[in-house]
Structure 1
Amino acid sequence: MRTKPVFLVIDDNQIDQFIMTQLFKKVLNVTEINLANNGKEGIKWICDNRNKIENPLIILLDIQMPIMNGLKFLEEYDTLGDDLKRDTQIFMLSSSLDIDEIQNIRSNKYVADFLSKPISINEFNDRLMCCN
């Protein structure tokens, strides 16, 4: 039996955080959801918690955020040790429809997939299943 993943939502929009948290709990039966308001908080959470958690980590990462945006997060994430990056999938979130930005995101070796906001929980579940 596969262990349930731990989720980390990195998004500065508290409404999006609330909606994703509720959807994940109710529709996907997710039990552990952690929140970070920007990429810097997300990196700190990973550094403080990843080695304490044996379960897979699923990160939902917004692109446009203050302090550290999603693209800068990916640059900083690249510098982390492999022990912190083990068994982790990153899904990028954006309301952007810029084709160049989407292709740039999809070509990043750490990004499992790109999801448009507002997130469709069924679409996310389908993509999550195909990536596991």
Structure 2
Amino acid sequence: MSETPLIWIIDDDDISKYVMNRNLRQLSVTNVIEFTDSTQPLKILSDNFDSTDKLPDIILLDLYMPILDGFQFMEKFKVAIKRIKKNIQIYMLTSSFSSEDVDRAKSIPEISEYIVKPITLRNLTRIVDNVLQE
């Protein structure tokens, strides 16, 4: 992997994306692609199974979005990941404190962590450091 990970932010909330980008810039992470829903990222994943340089190291995935929510994205991701030759860490982000959402997220092994928004600089530092240490 390069010195800076490729991060996909899949979130329909502009304020959340702004905060995440601002914090990532403080960490000198500028290799970030934003999506307002999860359909385009799924297409990119399915079109690039063997092109790991086009695939993210980290996905910051909002739970509640239009078209496909975070859980629906994960169902499709679990199918795609079988053909992908890259370890992609997924962090589910939400403003929901629902124990049902937390339990459901924890039951999906492909989700590295469930984080309540707003994501902090400290959390992002830990996430980026984990990927860089791989």
Offset at residue 29 of structure 1 (A): 1.0
Q: Which has the higher contact order (CA 8 A, sep 6+)?
A: 2
Match of 1:38 in 2: 37
Deviates more, 1:103-112 or 1:63-72: 103-112
Q: Count residues in correspondence.
A: 131
Relative distance call for 1:56 and 1:72 in structure 2 (3 A) is closer
Q: CA deviation at 1:84?
A: 2.6
Q: Distance in 2 between matches of 1:19 and 1:36?
A: 15
Query: Structure 1, unaligned stretches of length 5 or more?
Result: none
Using the TM superposition, give the Cα deviation of residue 129 of structure 1 relative to its aligned residue in structure 2, in angstroms. 3.3
Please say if 1:84 is aligned against 2:87: no
Judging changes above 3 Å, is the alpha-carbon distance between structure 1 residues 88 and 122 closer, same or farther for their aligned structure 2 residues?
same
Please state whether the residue corresponding to 1:84 is helix, strand or coil. Answer: coil
Q: Secondary structure at the match of 2:80?
A: coil
Supply the distance in 2 between the matched residues of 1:56 and 1:65 (Cα, whole angstroms): 20
Provide the TM-score with structure 1 as the length reference.
0.84
- Distance in 1 (CA, whole Å) between partners of 2:85 and 2:69 is 19
Per-residue CA deviation, residues 21-55 of structure 1 (Å, 9 max, x unaligned), is 12101x21112000111121221233345643438
109-118 vs 122-131, which moves further: 122-131
- CA displacement at 1:56 relative to structure 2: 5.8
Computed over aligned residues only, the root mean square deviation of the Cα atoms, in angstroms, reads 2.3
- Quote the Cα distance in structure 1 between the aligned partners of 2:81 and 2:62: 22
Q: What is the aligned partner in structure 1 of residue 8 from structure 2?
A: 8
Change (3 A) 1:89 1:63: same
Q: TM-score, normalised by structure 2?
A: 0.83
> 1:4 Cα shift?
2.4
- Partner amino acid for 1:62? D
Cα 1:86–1:113 change in 2 (3 A) is same
SS at match of 1:109: coil
Q: State the Cα deviation string for residues 82-125 of structure 1 (Å, max 9, x = none).
A: 34362210000000000121111022111001111011111232
Contact 1:115 1:124 in 2 (8 A): no
